[in-house]
Structure 1
Amino acid sequence: MDASDALADREWRLIREEAWSGPMNMALDEVAAETAAAGGPRTLRVYRWEPGTLSLGYHQDPDTVDWAHCEREGIGVTRRPTGGGGIYHDAHGDISYTIVAPDGELPGDLVESYRRLCTPILDAFDRLGVPARFAETGRPAVHEPACYLRELHPAHDVVVPGADGPRKVSGNAQHRRADAVVQHGSLTYAVSPERHLSVFADPGADAETFRERVTGIADHADVDRATAVAAVESSLREWADAETGAWTDAELSRGRELAAEKYGAETWTRRRPGQR
């Protein structure tokens, strides 16, 4: 990070990959924002979802979810504070990350902010030998409720170009509070179309179509998931000159409170579009 950057010379901590439930992962993002806004360290975190979880976009209609299937298969459901469509995450196919900093340290321009915060993510792909880059041209949406089947957006969708068109490998989103910015994203390690599509009530696509639109790290690099996670962690750490850190007891207590009262509550997960 350049010395003139507002994010340089700040206290950053990297919380290496942990496994949490969907509600707890979203709660910890909010906790990290509270910590940064209160003058504490800025947070970089890498995490996985256990059990497998469908994370819904903030405005997503709950009727797009196959709730019976999710309950039967033990798949958790939570709602993100960010927009976009639903994403199925599990401990094998997905690598998730979050970057949190005070609002005043990031550009007000959304595209510029994405470009800055996605720098370590693109660097991680480069380290792994995956030719990923921001989407330059759109592809029409196949199924709006599914994030990876929506129309590509050049501000925050990362793709791998190919002869048959770009295939999405990472989706990224920002939540801008009055006092902090949370950017989180999903990097696909291994593509599992059947699992991803099965969480939707009417997926609107088959496995072949999904594979035509989505790719994963394992499709382009002969590396195991642990190696891919290490590349993401190293890129984040070096980008921010961060120290390896951990949650405080108070942060974990606050996270469990938010997970129970907000991100795991049906009033949040089954909220109708337009409701608050």
Structure 2
Amino acid sequence: MDGSEEPLADREWRLIREEAWSGAMNMALDEVAAETAAAGGPRTLRVYRWEPSTLSLGYRQDPDTVDWDYCEREGIGVTRRPTGGGGIYHDSRGDISYTVVAPADELPGDLVESYHLLCVPILDAFERMGVPARFAETERPAAHQPACYLRELHPAHDVVVATAGTERKVSGNAQHRRTDAVVQHGSLTYAVRPERHLAVFADAGVTPAAFRERVTGVADHADVSRSDGVERLEAALADWADATEGAWTDDELERARELAEEKYASDGWTRRRPGRR
């Protein structure tokens, strides 16, 4: 399929407005949305908050990179994503997250092309917020590999704001490409909390000042409240796919709660070693 086409508006899309869920439930709901889309149900656009604040680990991330004692002491949840990359601290007030889910055969097979298509509404949302965001254009070496926002920038899926000749990351996006569905989820930083973001990692070796040199948030560039930012992201997503407001079915919520308990909240999933399935 030609990624320049607009194959979305003639499909059934639902927008699920911002909800607050635990990290395990957020990942379970993404999986359930993929099952629904693959079974011929609606494609899903969702915006969500992490409650409590949560560290989401990349699929292959070593659990030894986490300061488990700090997370437990501070009431920070920990889960593992089905997508790659490093860990992301999702602050319950400083992060705005989204997911786009559609059948695999409706999206480009090329990974970069797919990212650029599904990030169209994300860049639109930043524009609506008054934030001059764009895909990364320059390479920058990793400062701390276990932390997603401190890894090298990737022009396919890292969104940055360029100021004074330096690109600072404002959004990271990742895809889980199943045989029957594609799940793209991402994190938009609203407010940067470098001390908390670094403290969830064991031996990060990066100062808060150095973190701020690489990461920025909506609040640094625009006079927009978090709730307004959420509304503008929801509007951008809805306009992009001509989506109608929707909700989870009772069956989807029951299935998600089962997945959250059995998989995404389990030590077997969250603390598993790289290479183990």
Q: TM-score, normalised by structure 2?
A: 0.98
Residues 16 and 45, structure 2, Cα contact 8 Å, conserved in 1 = yes
Residues 24 and 264, structure 2, Cα contact 8 Å, conserved in 1 = yes
Give the corresponding residue for 1:169: 170
Deviations 1:131-169 (A, max 9, x none): 000001111100000000000000000000111510000
Distance in 2 (CA, whole Å) between partners of 1:120 and 1:228 is: 13
Q: Return the letter of the residue paired with 1:151.
A: E
Give the corresponding residue for 2:199: 198
Give the corresponding residue for 2:100: 99
Q: TM-score, normalised by structure 1?
A: 0.98
SS of alignment partner, residue 163 of structure 2: coil
Residues 14 and 43, structure 2, Cα contact 8 Å, conserved in 1 = yes
SS of alignment partner, residue 104 of structure 1: helix
Paired residue total: 275
Deviations 1:184-237 (A, max 9, x none): 000000000001000001112010000000000000000110000001000000
* Structure 1 position 122 matched with structure 2 position 119: no
Give the corresponding residue for 1:137: 138
How much has 1:5 moved relative to structure 2? 2.8
* Structure 1 position 62 matched with structure 2 position 63: yes
SS of alignment partner, residue 10 of structure 1: coil
Give the corresponding residue for 1:229: 230
Residues 106 and 113, structure 1, Cα contact 8 Å, conserved in 2 = yes
* Structure 1 position 155 matched with structure 2 position 156: yes
Q: Return the letter of the residue paired with 2:206.
A: A
Distance in 2 (CA, whole Å) between partners of 1:203 and 1:25 is: 26
* Structure 1 position 73 matched with structure 2 position 80: no
Distance in 2 (CA, whole Å) between partners of 1:74 and 1:181 is: 32
Residues 3 and 9, structure 1, Cα contact 8 Å, conserved in 2 = no
SS of alignment partner, residue 14 of structure 2: strand
Deviations 1:28-84 (A, max 9, x none): 000000000000000000000000100000000000000011111111000000000
Distance in 2 (CA, whole Å) between partners of 1:3 and 1:69 is: 46
How much has 1:18 moved relative to structure 2? 0.1
Q: Which runs of 5+ in 2 are unaligned?
A: none
Give the corresponding residue for 2:32: 31
The CA RMSD over aligned residues, in Å, is 1.1
Give the corresponding residue for 2:265: 264
SS of alignment partner, residue 166 of structure 2: coil
Residues 134 and 154, structure 1, Cα contact 8 Å, conserved in 2 = yes
Give the corresponding residue for 1:207: 208
Distance in 1 (CA, whole Å) between partners of 2:144 and 2:205 is: 6
Give the corresponding residue for 1:184: 185
Residues 173 and 184, structure 2, Cα contact 8 Å, conserved in 1 = yes
Distance in 1 (CA, whole Å) between partners of 2:91 and 2:22 is: 10
Distance in 1 (CA, whole Å) between partners of 2:263 and 2:122 is: 29
Q: Return the letter of the residue paired with 1:167.
A: R
Distance in 1 (CA, whole Å) between partners of 2:218 and 2:6 is: 30
Residues 142 and 205, structure 1, Cα contact 8 Å, conserved in 2 = yes
How much has 1:108 moved relative to structure 2? 0.5
SS of alignment partner, residue 156 of structure 2: coil
SS of alignment partner, residue 195 of structure 2: helix
How much has 1:3 moved relative to structure 2? 11
Give the 3 Å change call, closer, same or farther, for CA 167–70 of structure 1 in structure 2: same
Q: Return the letter of the residue paired with 1:100.
A: V
